[in-house]
Structure formats: structure tokens, C-alpha cells
Amino acid sequence: MNAPVLEVTDLSQDFGGLRALNELSLTVGTAEIVALIGPNGAGKTTFFNCVTGIYTPTEGKMYLHDAAGEKHLLNGRKPHLITAMGMARTFQNIRLFSEMTVLENVMIGRHCRTKAGIMGAIARDGRTRREEQDTIDRSYALLELVKLQEFWNETAHNLPYGAQRRLEIARAMATEPRMLLLDEPAAGMNPQETNELKELVCSIRDKQGLSILLIEHDMGMVMSLSDRIYVMEYGSCIATGTPAEIRTNPRVIKAYLGESDA
């Protein structure tokens, strides 16, 4: 594994008496695709919410490394600051700005990389206009990346399900992340769409050198796509390794299929 981008040590999250995450440690390297799998309720999405600043973890440390290799603590930072540091995510239950157009959705992602304020908006000076045109063009380029360019002026909620998931990826990409968190990107997709998604994720990693952390239930996709896999159960990490190692790990098989000799 090359230089780490995301580094999490002993992360725990309690909700009242319930321990949703239990001393979870995880590292994602540069341009690495890591999958996080486990049965429903294992705490995968909770982990995403901690890392992106939506929840404040009870214990543990989370670091994001910048391009210069410097470590930045994520604990206690607000979500928008974490996004500005280079962490972007998609949501399990699609959270698009559904009444806005496809292009506008992506443009929001550029918010933290642009500066125009209220005064600029009212004056519409050259700089504001140039910035806006730049935002529009970059957003359109991202729509081309996820092959949604022909729908750019469509209202987001009119898109088919698979397209909405791809739009979420484009929106996350617009924040210029170093680390991309994908929460069940293939959920509800047909096999052909899943294949296209796999190609998209690979090309994002290969061309842009992004690190990707993926929650997914589609095992075919997980096994073929990821460099390493973390398996979670009841908030703890029960196994980690390459896809080949995970496939034969007895604890993982037990967690997914139950005891073999009952």
C-alpha cells in the first residue's frame, strides 16, 4: 500500500447504550479502492457519517492526509470543512437536490472551491462571471464523465434510478476530493448498469488518482473492484485482506451464512 490518505484508529461510536462502532481501525492508501462490507446494521454507514463529520465519534482518531503528505485531524470538524479538505461522499438513500436541474446539482459541489459572495452576485463583475462560467463548464465535464450530459437540463428527480446514483458521484467529484466515499453505489442497478459503474469507479481511480472507499452488497462488484476489503459485524472489524483472502476466511463465511454445522 502506498502513502495513506485516510487513516482511522480505534473509532468507536455510541448511541446511548448501543455501540454502533467498536474500535474500528482502517486505512486507505493513495489511488486504492477499499471495500467495506458486512451484514445490514454492521455500522458501515455509521462509519461514513463519522468520517464526514455528521456524527461526532465517542472515541478514536480520524486523519486525512493532504497532497503534501501532512496529517489533518478530522475529529470535531464540521462537515463542510471536511469536504473542503478533500473528502466527498454519496448517500445510500439518494440525497439529490431533487427539484434542481442535473447541472445545478453538480454546480453545488463546486461551492467549496469557488468564492463569489453576495456582493459579487449583485455586481456581477468580470471575476464573478468568469468563475460562474468555469463552474458551469467543469460541472458539464463531470456530467460527461458519468455519461449524463444529455440530461443536463433535466430536473434531477426525473432521472432513472441508476442515473441518479451516477449524478451523486458526479456531484461528489465536483468538490475535487482526494478521498471518495461511495455508499452502496450499485444498489438497485441492473447488471449492465453495475458493469458501467465498475468501469466508472475504476476510471476515476486510474485517471484522477483518487482513493475510494466503497460500501457495497454486490459481491461480484466488491471482489472484482477492490484492492482490499474490510469486513464488519456488530460494529467491529472481523477481517481484512485482499478479495482472495476474504473469500476463504472462515469468520466471514460464518458472519454471512451462519454456522455450517448447526
Partner 1 sequence: MHRICKAAIAALWFMLLTLPVLGIKLNTVTNTVVWRFDRILALGAGIFVLAVIWDWCFSRKAAGQPLVHLPQGFSLAGLLEAFRNSAGLRWGGIALLAVVLVGMPLVGSFYQTNIMISALLYVMLALGLNIVVGLAGQLVLGYVAFYAIGAYTYGLLNQFFGLGFWACLPIGGFLTVLFGLGLGFPVLRLRGDYLAIVTLGFGEIVRLTLQNWSSVTGGPRGVSDIPRPGFFGMQMDIAASTTYIYYLVLAAVIITIVVISRLKNSRVGLALQALREDEIACEAMGVDITRVKLSAFALGSCWAGFAGVIFAAKTTYINPSSFTFMESAMILSMVVLGGMGSIAGVVIAALILILAPEYLRAFSDYRMLLFGAIMVIMMLFRPQGLISGERRRYRISALHGNEGDRS
Given 121, 158, 161, 209, the residue binding partner 1 (CB under 8 A): 121
State phi, psi for 97 to the nearest 5 degrees: -85, 90
Site string for partner 1, 77-96 (x = CB under 8 A): -xxx--xx---xx-x---xx
- The Cα diameter of the chain in Å comes to 74
For the bound state, the minimum distance from the C-beta of residue 135 to partner 1, rounded and expressed in Å, comes to 7
| Contact (CB, 8 A) for 94 and 164 | yes
Is position 104 an interface residue for partner 1 (rule: CB under 8 A)?
yes
Span interacting with partner 1, options 21-29, 33-41, 139-147, 241-249, rule CB under 8 A:
139-147
Site string for partner 1, 172-211 (x = CB under 8 A): x-xx------------------------------------
Span interacting with partner 1, options 110-118, 158-166, 195-203, 225-233, rule CB under 8 A:
110-118
Given 25, 61, 108, 249, the residue binding partner 1 (CB under 8 A): 108
Cell numbers describing residue 173: 467529484
The residue ranges that bind partner 1 (CB under 8 A) are 52, 54, 78-80, 83-84, 88-89, 91, 95-101, 103-104, 107-109, 111-114, 116-118, 120-122, 124, 126, 128-133, 135-137, 140-141, 144, 152-153, 155, 171-172, 174-175
